[in-house]
A and B are shown apart, each in its own frame.
Chain A
Amino acid sequence: MKRYALFLGCTTPTKVPQYELSTRWISNRLGIDLVDIEDFVCCGSNQINLSIEAGLLLSALNLAYAEAQDLDIVTLCAACTGVLVEAVEELEKQAVRDTINKKLSTIGLQYNGKTKVKHISRVIYEDVGLNRIRKEIKRDLSNLQIAPHYGCHYLRPRCVSEGLDEPDNPKSLHQLISATGAIPVEYETLLDCCGGKTFPNSVDLAHHLIAKKLDNLQDKEVDCMVLHCQTCYLMYATQQEKMSEKFDRQYNVPIILYPQLLGLAMGADPVADLGLNLNVPSVDKLLTKVENEYKVRI
């Protein structure tokens, strides 16, 4: 299996470490070789707001760090994925690459277009494959009804999901959930945005966006929502308490990151290996439901 430089981004390692923990656990078992590059910095996705050039330069810096070790990058965050994949495409233009490399050369680096970028779910989907996942399943999750959430930048712009999925009618995360044995649920607000990029500028606007999907899922009575971006997680999970106080509704939709779900299906310890005790709202009810149905496949 391939080696990848693990791009943690800003938020996963600081605020959602269970995403990193579970990703390392499943990668180890599935033969995805993760290399840590401690020099990695912010991907540049928010700097674009102030200066497109500054954002691209930060993306290129990270690409250059990985390329210096002859590695492709695997990302956890949807926004990092989007901005880095876009940067790879932009830097295919020779004139743009020359301008950026001139600046990178001031710190002794360059990017020559060799390093590519994939999100961890895409690596699982394409490199590991659904058949291999099905063979790794140790716990029966077939009584779990799960709402997938893709995250905008996992699908858009189109270059991010090219060859993987259809941005207006995505299926890959549904399939990844099915492969664990759980049941993916269809719901009306599937494509809705988590509001993560609006949160720093307007909490009210973010809450409006979050509520649309949570209202939908609470009415559907799903066991949880599964997503694969720490910003989407922070919006849908950690805002529920504040939103329950703000709006006249008690929100309680468990939110799980895909590597946690896959790890659970593969027989991992929910706490030590996957950090599921760190998730809010509590996922205890869901774990009890799984353990009651616990069957080890021989």
Chain B
Amino acid sequence: MYGQPIRVSELDTNFKHEVMAHEAAHDITACFSCGTCTVGCPIHEAYPEYDPRKLARMVNLGMRERVLSSSYIWYCATCHTCELRCPQNVKFFSVLNVLKNMAAKEGYAPPSWVNQTQQVMKTGIVFATEEAWVERREELSLCPLKGDGEEAAKLMRLTGVGEIQPRAQL
């Protein structure tokens, strides 16, 4: 995503409209690239390649493939600082979720989130049942957990999220 020239012939001018069609990302074109989001982003500080301002610009320019295939969109800490401070009230966290949803449909989701979702469909929570914590709860006289994801699974099947296949590694 970083340091490569932009080729106009590779831009997908429809990309921003595709993104904006999702209500959560409706205000992306209000971004005037001030960079307030990037300045306050804890991930940008660690990985300069992850840059909310740059991502917003890439969406508006139509750099579809580079945005959706990027590993970096999955590193967001979800701290919401970007959207709290945005002078244009762009909900970048929501925009990023829309981008991740689109990337997931194209096979770019990391194994972590795919595994968690499939686990919820089994036990109702993001973990498999483990003897150690079941016993610990008994020792502390805490009520047993139901460990049933049947109802959640029925609902998840209505959204197709269970069929998403992960990329090999992030």
**Chain A contacts to B: CB under 8 angstroms:** 9-11, 13-15, 17, 20-21, 24, 36, 38-42, 45-54, 57-58, 61, 79, 82, 103-104, 106-107, 152-153, 156-158, 167-168, 191-193, 195-198, 200-202, 205, 208-209, 275
Prevailing SS type, chain B contact patch:
helix
A193-B100 contact, Cβ under 8 Å, with A21-B140, A42-B152, A51-B160: no
B73 to chain A, nearest CB (A): 10
Interfacial residues of chain B within 134-163, with CB under 8 A of chain A in the complex: 136-137, 140, 142-143, 145-146, 149, 151-152, 154-156, 158-161
B118 to chain A: closest CB distance in Å? 10
**Cβ of A58 and Cβ of B83 under 8 Å apart?**
no
Decide if B39 is an interface residue (CB 8 Å cutoff): no
| A39 proximity list for chain B (CB < 8 A) | 146, 151
Are B140 and A209 interface neighbours, CB within 8 A?
no
Contact, CB under 8 Å: A157 / B84: yes
B6 within 8 A of A: no
| Contact pick for B112, options A48, A195, A200, CB 8 Å | A200
- Asked if A17 meets B136 with Cβ closer than 8 Å, knowing A157-B84, A202-B170, the reply is yes
Q: Are A201 and B155 in contact (CB under 8 A)?
A: no
A sample of 19 inter-chain contacts (CB < 8 A) reads A9-B125, A11-B127, A13-B142, A13-B145, A14-B145, A42-B152, A46-B117, A49-B109, A54-B156, A57-B156, A57-B158, A152-B79, A153-B80, A193-B42, A197-B77, A198-B76, A200-B113, A209-B46, A209-B77
Interface residue? B15 (CB, 8 A): no
Identify which of residues 37-63 in chain B touch chain A, using a CB-to-CB cut-off of 8 Å. 42-43, 46-47
CB of B126 closer than 8 Å to a CB of A = yes
- Asked if B116 is an interface residue, CB under 8 A from chain A, the answer is yes
Contact of B84 among A15, A40, A82, A167 (CB under 8 A): A167
The listed residue (B81, B98, B137) touching A156 by CB distance below 8 A is B81
B116 A46 Cβ-Cβ under 8 A: yes
Q: Is there contact, CB below 8 Å, between B84 and A201?
A: no
Report chain B residues within 8 Å CB of A191. 81
Chain A residues with Cβ under 8 A from B2's Cβ?
A: none
Q: Which residues of A contact B124 (CB under 8 A)?
A: 40-42
Contact check, A198 vs B130: say whether CB atoms are below 8 A apart: no
Cβ 8 A contact of A50, one of B42, B77, B109, B152: B109
CA distance A192 to B164 in the complex (A): 32
Residues of B within 8 A of A40 (CB): 124
Closest to A53 in B: B159
Is A156 a contact partner of B159 (Cβ separation < 8 A)?
Answer: no
CA distance A53 to B156 in the complex (A): 9
Q: Which 4 A-B pairs have the closest CB atoms?
A: A156-B80, A200-B112, A10-B125, A41-B124
B90 in the interface (beta carbon within 8 A): no
Contact of A17 among B91, B142, B149 (CB under 8 A): B142
A193 to B109, CA, bound (A): 23
Is B120 interfacial (CB 8 A cutoff)? Answer: yes
Verify A201–B120 contact, CB threshold 8 A: no
Q: Which residues from chain A contact B104 at a C-beta distance below 8 Å?
A: 49-51
Cβ of B110 within 8 Å of any chain A Cβ, yes or no, is: yes
**Bound complex: CA A142 to CA B161 (Å):** 51
| In the bound complex, CA of A205 to CA of B170 (Å) | 13
When the two chains form their complex, are residues A107 and B155 in contact, meaning their CB atoms are under 8 A apart? yes
Considering only residues 52-104 of chain B, those with a C-beta below 8 Å from chain A are: 74-81, 83-85, 91, 93-94, 97-98, 100-101, 104
How near does chain A come to B26, taking the closest CB pair, in angstroms? 13
Partner pick for A42 among B113, B126, B154, B170, CB 8 A cutoff: B126
